[in-house]
Amino acid sequence: MQVLSKVIRLDLQYSSQQSHLYQRQTCYLAPFYHEEALHFAKRILAYLSLFELQPELAKQDPLGKQPDLFLRDFDQHFRLWCQVDLPNDKQLLRASHQSDQVLLVPDSADFHRAQLMIKGLSNVRLFELTSEQLNEFCSMLKGHMQLSIWREDNVLIITDGQQQLELLVACLGTEPNHTLYQRPSTFTSKH
């Protein structure tokens, strides 16, 4: 299923007690041309998980040659390279050399293959999003999305007022008590 809207308005209310970040923000998100809803959902969930780092979303489909989300320093060096589709070995090696940290976002079907791909690459982490999480977040996708997000420890609680999704925050190697792989999640609907 493709994303039908050319531009999605996202009204975001983000609250994190531990970092004392309380922010309201309106962003306009443009899905890539012919982008599937599940791919778009992966990009947005990765963005929300990394929100406190203020990542940038790629403006054009990077086709594996550039990151889907990234952080750069003042010298334009990649501090974080996040890719939601699994790259080939050559692309992964290039990303690992060009960035301080690489975050791959495999779904459950690709998780084992991703684990094998990153062996020996100390700056590459995985952030798994389950098929259930992706499908449930897709049901929240609209032309005008209004999301409230509460971060409690390493859990994000995302709600659109009718449904609620919980997922773990993508942890990088620079954070204390980081875990390499993220799995648990719950989803509830309000009636």
Residue 185 pLDDT > 60: no
- Which pLDDT band, with edges at 50, 70 and 90, does 98 fall under? very high
Those residues with Cβ within 8 angstroms of residue 120's Cβ, 6 or more apart along the chain or in another chain: none
In the prediction, which pLDDT does 4 show? 63
84-109 mean pLDDT = 94
In the prediction, which pLDDT does 130 show? 93
Global pTM reads: 0.86
Residue 3 pLDDT > 80: no
Strand bridging mode 8-16 / 144-152: parallel
Strand bridging mode 78-83 / 99-104: parallel
C-alpha dist (Å) from residue 62 to 141, 161, 171 = 22, 33, 23
In the prediction, which pLDDT does 65 show? 82
11-39 mean pLDDT = 91
pLDDT digits (tens, 9 = 90+) for 134-169: 999 999 999 999 999 999 988 999 999 999 999 988
Class of domain 8-189 (CATH, top level): alpha beta
In the prediction, which pLDDT does 17 show? 85
- Which pLDDT band, with edges at 50, 70 and 90, does 126 fall under? very high
In the prediction, which pLDDT does 18 show? 83
Residue 64 pLDDT > 90: no
In the prediction, which pLDDT does 175 show? 45
62-82 mean pLDDT = 91
In the prediction, which pLDDT does 5 show? 72
Say how far apart CA 171 and CA 182 lie, in whole Å.
8
Domain residue spans of the chain: 8-189
105-132 mean pLDDT = 94
Pair of tokens at residue 39: 């791919």
Those residues with Cβ within 8 angstroms of residue 4's Cβ, 6 or more apart along the chain or in another chain: none
- Which pLDDT band, with edges at 50, 70 and 90, does 173 fall under? low
